[in-house]
Structure 1
Amino acid sequence: MQSVDFDLIICGGGPVGQSVAGLLARRKRPAARIAVIDMKTPEQAAADPRTIALSYGSRQILEELGAWDDIGRSATAIEQIHVSRRGHFGRTLLDRKDYDLPALGYVARYGEVNRALATAIAPLGLTLMRPAEAQDISEEDDHVAVTLKDGQVLRAALVIQAEGGVFGEQQQKTLQRDYQQLGVIAHVHADQPVAHRAFERFTDEGPLALLPQDDGYALVWCVRPATGEQLLALDDTAFLAALQRTFGERLGRFTRISPRHA
């Protein structure tokens, strides 16, 4: 067998990649033999403004890594999840008390999770390659070769692909499936918020989620692409009216919304 540079290469240094690397190192795997490759610098990753929902199981992993305290100070706990479907009778309400948990999950900022994990795994002695971009992965008989953008070739016994990437900048894959879904995201405020309750509302075009965050809600509204383009073209008042019609009045009236993205 050819000698390899690493036991493991992890392509992607986001929450998944950093967690895997950190847990393996804490389980006494040779840390220097684990390489983490990511296109972003730690500073760029920490500035990521997106919202992420973490399960209680994810909190347990982050606690083991020593990263949860920093994240938990700013995360919003989800204690209940209200599930319904537009035009249909009934609803389901999941409650943390039914499972004897402090929370069902948490709403956090993606960049804060990245920053806390980077701080937690820094002392472990992992091989961190940031910024570095993996352009090709090839499987050989006895190793996997990862070619970086600068031409460097790294070999490992195993590669984990944990890179979500910037989808608009990735090359088109040979095999594709278009699910005809577009996610409209924003931060919204309502005049009758329910503390620590998340909402999942199913519609004919896709799910609509409202996740409690700070003094409002992180909105993820999945629709067909044509509908999404129409929603993005609306002014704030018209968009909030469309959201109100789809979601209903469980939170009273929607009053404000941040700039929208898709």
Structure 2
Amino acid sequence: MAGPTTAERGERQKLKSGPPRPPRPVRLRRLRVLIVLLVTTVLAGGGVVWLLYGSQWLRVERLSVSGTRVLTARQVREAAEVPDGTPLISVDTDAVEARLLRRLPRIDSVDVVRSWPHGIGLKVTERTPVLVVKQPGKGGKYVEVDAKGVRFATVSRAPKNVALLELTPSRSAVLRRFPADRLVREAVRVAGDIPASVARDTRTVKVRSYDSISLELSDGRDVEWGSGEKGSAKARTLTALMKAAPKARHFDVSVPTAPSSAGS
């Protein structure tokens, strides 16, 4: 059998030796391009860092506040404690949020956002009172309670259309099982389930125990609500009962499947 030809041996030799290397000037040009690109990248990165941290262009000049109802914008700004002139990029938005929630309990939530090139925006959501608790020996002051059962602010006058919460639990094993904070949460739960037409007239929510909560209305009528369980069913039953017995003075929906009314 004949061996490989001269041409075939030449092709095999080319394959072994790999592709031809570019001339030396071409390699030098490629190296220079890579060096230039590397230097440009480093300079650009350094410029960005200087722009964000060292220049006077991207610094805090404005602290805007929105969403406040009772609090003032000045109170929020002071509690946020963001100094003018701080590089915008270095403002710790999580820390600002934590300070506001800690220093102003009336704030339920807050969004802290950067507003380039010179601003920080504080979007505040305040707590809304659903009940108030009168403080004994405090000059007639009231503590506001929100829908989560959080006591968040002391005010000299009860807000309009917010019912008074009266806690009169007995000193018994029931109280040990259901401490005051739990009873407050149950009262808040009931306040959230009261029909709107009744809520407008509710003057006091009285809590004697976990399963003994009643409502005192502004016209002298009262409602025995029971526990905070089955609130939606109790609300529907109370609405129907009041329509069926408009002159009644007492309503009992503690067992919504067996309600009752009395008095006239």
Q: Over alpha carbons, which structure has the higher Rg?
A: 2
Give your verdict on TM over 0.5: no
TM-score by length of 1: 0.27
Q: Comparing both chains, which one has the higher relative contact order based on Cα–Cα distances under 8 Å and sequence gaps of 6 or more?
A: 1
More strand by share: 1
